[in-house]
Structures are given as C-alpha cells and as structure tokens.
Chain A
Amino acid sequence: MQLNDWLLSLGMALLYIGLLCTALSQQKHFRHRHWAGRFNRIGLRSPGVRRLTGTFALLGSAGLMVFSEGWGFGLVLWLMAAAALAALLAWMLAHGN
C-alpha cells in the first residue's frame, strides 16, 4: 500500500468515527446499548462533547481525503463515503438499540 492509500484508509476510519460520535450525540441514540457505555468510559459523556469530537473527526477526515486525493476527488469522495457510511451506521445502530 502506498502512503495515499494509508491516508485514505485513515480518512475513512475517521469519517466513520465522526459519524458515530455525531449519531451518539443525538437524542435517539444517546443511550445506545452497545456504544453509550464505551463512549462514557473514554470521557465522551455529554452530547456537546460527542458532537464536538464528531465535528473534528469529520473535518479531519475531509482534510485527509483532500490531502491524499486532491480537492475535487477528495471532497466528492468524502461526500459519497459519508452517505454510504451514514446508511451503514444507521442500520448498525438500529439493530443494537
């Protein structure tokens, strides 16, 4: 794997974490059976902290993708990956709630 591929993989992982943090900051998933305890243990207890962490992770993932793929591909890739991962995440959260 080349450096770009590593950056892209890292960006995807960060994007997923960002979406997860954002989802768990919302009322519907705040007390999620599988994830709420884990988030509380690492200090992400309040909705505000989770949302802020999520925002930073999302921005970080966008930055990594732009850095590895360039402006055009990076932003389009981020947008499309966010859509696919958000759908996957909603599915996953629904089955653990």
Chain B
Amino acid sequence: MTPSIRQHMAWFHTWFGLVIGFLLFSVFWTGTLTVFDKEFDRWMHPESRSVQSQCCSLTAAQLETVLLKVHALAPEPANIRFHLPTARTPMPSVRITEHDNTLKTYYIDPDTGKALPGEYTLGGTGFFFPFHYKFNIAWMNVGYYMLGIAGLAMLTLLISGVVLHRKLLAEFFLFRPKKNRARSLLDLHNLSSVVALPFYITITFSGLLILFSIYFQWATLTAFDGDKAASQKAMSGFINLPPSGFVENDNQKLAALKRIPAIVQAREAAWSAALGEHTTADAINIRNLGDSNALLEIRRVFPERSIGMSTHTDTFLLHTDELLHAHEPKPIKSFTHWITGLHFIQFDHAALRVLYAIGGLLGCVMIHTGFLFWLESRRVQHHTRKLSGFAVVQALSVGGTLGMMIATAAFLVANQLIPHHVANRATLETDVFYSVWVLAIVWAFINAVTYKSKQWLTPTWLFTALCALAWLLNQINTGGMVTALRLQEMNSFAIDVGLLFMVASGVYAARKLTAPARVSRLNKEAFECN
C-alpha cells in the first residue's frame, strides 16, 4: 500500500524538523531578543542610556557639535554614518569607516560633544542582530545561506504541519496538560504553532525577501542589464561618485560640515510639506569627506508611526550643496519596504513590539516542544532496543535550545562583570557566549551518554540563576530599575523586566520538571534511565 500524502508529510515534518530545528531555534531566539536590540544596547552600555537635554531631536547647533566632534575623531574618514537620536537611542550614534576599512563606533553627547566608544560592547545590535540573520558567520556569505536554507525549511515545515494537523480549527484552543506527557507536548506544539501561524509565515517570508538580493543577485541586475550602480540608484537611491582626486583642505571640510544642519532642516521641511505631516531624517551618511566629490546622503529609514521603511533618500554633492538625487521608492518597492518593515520592527509602537516578542517566544516553544515530543514518543522504544539516537537527540536538544539560552544569560552576566578598562572587552563578552554554549552542548552529551538524570532540570536552574544574577548585577552596578524609573529611562527598565520574566518562567519550568511525572508502568523504567 502506498503511503498517503499525510504520511509523507509526517515523515518530512518529523525528520526535517529534527535536523533543521536547532538552526531555527537559534534564529527564533535571537530574533526575539533582537525585537529589543536597542534596549539591550542601553542595558549593556549604561553610559549611552540618556542625555542631559531633551530626548530625540537635535537642534542645528547640537548637530554641528556632533559633526565637528566626528571630524576631530577621524579627520580623513572614508565613510561616516550617523543615526540621529530616538527614544530608544537617546545619543546620536556614529560609525566611522577608515580608508583601510577599519570601523569605529561612537555615541556622542550632543550637548557636551563627549564621545563614548561603541567598542565597549557589541550589545543587541552588534551581536544578537547579526546572529539572527547570519549566525555571525561572515565568510563567503555562508551565514546568509544557512539562514536561507533554514527559512525555506521553516516554510515547508509550516505547510507540512498544516497538512498533518487534521483538526486544525476544531482543536484550535486545545491543550491537555493532565494527559500523558507525549500528548501534552503534542498539544503544546500544535497550540504554539497554530495560534501564531500567520505570524510565522509572514516573518519567515519577509525574512527571505529581505535577503533576496543576496541569494539571487542576478535577478535584480538582469533588469538593469548588469549595471549595479543603476540598480542601486533605482532600488534604494544609493549613489556613489568616484573620488575626483581634488583634496579639500581642513577649512573647506569644516565649512562643509557646518552647512549640513541647514541642509538637513531644509530637506525635512520639504518632506513635511510633501507629506502634510511632521517628518524627520533619522540617518545621515557622508562619503569621501576629504574629496571634492564628497557625498551627503540624508535618509528617513524608520519613520516613527509607520510600518513601511526607507521612505526618503536624498543625495547631495557636499561641497556645492547640489541635490543630485531625491529618491522616493516606486509603489512596488514601497510595498516591499512595508513587508520588510514588518520584519525589522523598528516602528515606534511598544505594545506591538511586545506582541512580536511573545510571537517569537511562541516560536521557540513550538520548536522546543517539537523536539520534546520526538523524544517522548520514542523514549520507550529506544530504551527497549538500546538505540543511541535518543541520547544524541536529547543532548542536541538540551545544548541547542537551553544551551543557547544559558549562553545568552552568561553573555549578559559577562557584560556586567568584565571591568571597563579591559582590552577587547566586547570580544571577551562574545567569547563567553560561545564558550558557555559549547560547554553546555558538551555537558549535555556527557550527561546523555552516561544516562544521568536531571538532563533538563540542571540547565533550567542554571539559566534561571544566570538571569537572576544578570538582573542583580545591573541593580548593583547602575541602580537598575529604581534609577531607570527615576530617570524615565524605559529602555534598560524593559530588559530588567524581561529578565525577571525569564526568572519567573525558569522557576515555573523547574517546578514542573521536579513534579512527579504521570507515567505508565510500562515506560517508568525508561524515564528513570534518562
């Protein structure tokens, strides 16, 4: 008898999910953390939390102070990229690329001109975010391709899961915690999958769409006869002029920098008039400052109350103030920006971002319970037949899911403990993350092959303890929640609340793990062996 389509899908869903699930968990986990990436930046870099003046807008004088400070920090930069202040990043941040491609990042106080080196920590935007989209693997774009495979796998797993789940609507709200463990886990897997199914599909599809130009470079280039510059100009308004060779002197550079605030204000006024609402720029790029072909790019990447991104990009010849190109995306590109904006979640809507984080956590629960169901449904069979697959999958599940969570908590603890003056401090933090993750996987394997008990309980307690420690250290080092409330600094406050939530969840999970298991006499022995 030939297997039905549902049986094919069941096989695919089980085994493909098992193989790719670890990758997907790390994407979902870091994606959930990335929803609050800038909040993590503030939590991990306390000096960048607030400024003396009123938050979130720069006067012309403040912008000039910042620009002149940047010039003092890097007189001959290849590229300067500013992010103007927002409620989530009260200090303007600057990324300076030198001609030898070295990158320096700073936060600059617009009142005093004081520069804080961004190398203090990678934080959320420098570590969790790139981990989410390329696993921090830059070599040959391998990380991007791994993510592409994971994304496609996720879409197919969602489709096969829908085909598999016979009573998707009839059992929409079904969860039976008092049934046997395998049944409860399957219910939880189904529940966490079905309730957020539109979110998973949208977030996976939009994720693939964002990296489309990396996977299929030829697709966009073909439309422009292989002309990369024309494609970039049409798609994102990006223009680059080759250096003219005429070098501007220091006075000319300073004069050009001092004119920038007026140009920015003029463009903001023009955008506001065109849209009929108050509009501000949020990013400024300066390329080849010392050359007479230096370019100034003023962008509106993340409008405040809009899902769509990158609405305006205006490019000027810096030393003559000549407007070279005012880019407004075509309708189809605007639609793409709307879809990608759904994924980037940089809009100013705290409630929606919290709901996104809940959606991400539901995704983690979905993947984790998928592993647990695989293990529970095979526990007796593997134990009876002395198969080693169970131990391997259990070890990978512990290391790949809880191990990653423990590594994240250890990363936050390291951030609080490593002294300020230590050289390569940010690298040391990431070393802690990877070391703890590897140790967790090794521990899980040793534990699994030696058939030790408490495979899940010990890591759960460890994660809980590390989250509590990270929270406590922040209270001691920076005043924590009390100081944050006093200063109305809600970014680091949100992370402290998140850590407390993780502690509460960890304690709840650990208590459930220590509760006597409702197991049948048949598989009691199997439970005791693992």
Q: Which of B290-298, B350-358, B454-462 contacts A (4 or more CB under 8 A)?
A: B350-358
Interface flags, A56-97, vs B, CB<8A=1, else 0: 000000000000000011001101111110110111011100
Assembled-state Cα–Cα distance A8/B342 (Å): 20
Residue numbers in B under 8 Å from A8 (CB-CB): 351
Is A27 among interface residues, defined by CB-CB distance under 8 A?
Answer: yes
> Which residues between 99 and 155 of chain B lie within 8 Å of chain A, taking CB atoms?
none
Interface membership of B175, Cβ < 8 A? yes
Does any Cβ of B come within 8 Å of A46's Cβ? no
How many A-B pairs have beta carbons closer than 8 Å: the answer is 76
Interface centre among A19, A26, A89 (most CB of B within 10 A): A26
Residues from chain A with a CB closer than 8 A to the CB of B359 are: 80, 83-84
Asked if A23 lies at the interface with its beta carbon under 8 angstroms from chain B, I say yes
Distance, CA A87 to CA B197, complexed state (A): 12
Query: Are A95 and B173 also in contact (CB < 8 A) when A83-B359, A83-B362, A86-B195 are?
Result: no
Write the B350-377 contact mask toward A (1 if CB under 8 angstroms, else 0): 0110011011001000000000000000
Q: How far is the CB of A8 from chain B (nearest CB, A)?
A: 8
Number of interface residues of B (CB under 8 A): 29
A62 CB to nearest B CB, Å: 13
Q: Give B385-412 interface residues, CB cut-off 8 Å to A.
A: none
Binary A-proximity of B306-333 (CB < 8 A = 1, otherwise 0): 1110000000000000000000000000
Residues of B within 8 A of A26 (CB): 170-173
Contact of B191 among A27, A76, A79, A90 (CB under 8 A): A90
Specify which chain B residues have a CB less than 8 angstroms from the CB of A73 in the assembled complex.
Answer: 305, 307, 347, 349, 352
Rounded to whole Å, the gap between the CB of B178 and the closest CB of chain A is: 8
Chain B residues positioned under 8 Å from A45 (CB to CB): none
* Beta-carbon contact of A86 and B198 below 8 Å: no
Q: Does B177 reach chain A (CB closer than 8 Å)? A: yes
Instruction: Decide if B342 touches A29 in the complex (CB within 8 Å).
Output: no
A41 within 8 A of B: no
A28 contacts B174, CB within 8 Å?
Answer: yes
Q: Which of A15-61 contact B (CB under 8 A)?
A: 19, 22-23, 26-29
On chain A, the residues within 8 Å of B174 by CB distance are 28, 90
- Least CB distance, A82 to chain B, in whole angstroms: 8
Give the residue name and chain of the A residue nearest to B200 (CB). A83
Contact B170 A89 (CB under 8 A): no
A28 pairs with B173, CB closer than 8 A: yes
Asked whether A23 lies within 8 Å of B173 as measured between CB atoms, the reply is yes
Beta-carbon contacts of B27-62 to A below 8 Å, as 1s and 0s? Answer: 000000000000000000000000000000000000
Q: With A26-B172, A28-B171, A72-B306 in contact, do A87 and B195 touch (Cβ < 8 Å)?
A: yes
Q: Closest approach, in angstroms, between the C-beta of A50 and any C-beta of chain B?
A: 13
A37 to B192, CA, bound (A): 28
State in angstroms the CA–CA spacing of A23 and B174 once bound together: 9
CA distance A40 to B198 in the complex (A): 32
- A87 contacts B192, C-beta separation under 8 Å: yes
Contacts of A83 in B (CB 8 A): 195-196, 198-199, 355, 358-359, 362
Q: Which residues between 151 and 199 of chain B lie within 8 Å of chain A, taking CB atoms?
A: 170-177, 191-192, 195-196, 198-199
Structural contact, B196 and A23, CB atoms closer than 8 A: no
Question: A residues engaging B (CB < 8 A)?
Answer: 8, 19, 22-23, 26-29, 72-73, 76-77, 79-84, 86-87, 89-91, 93-95
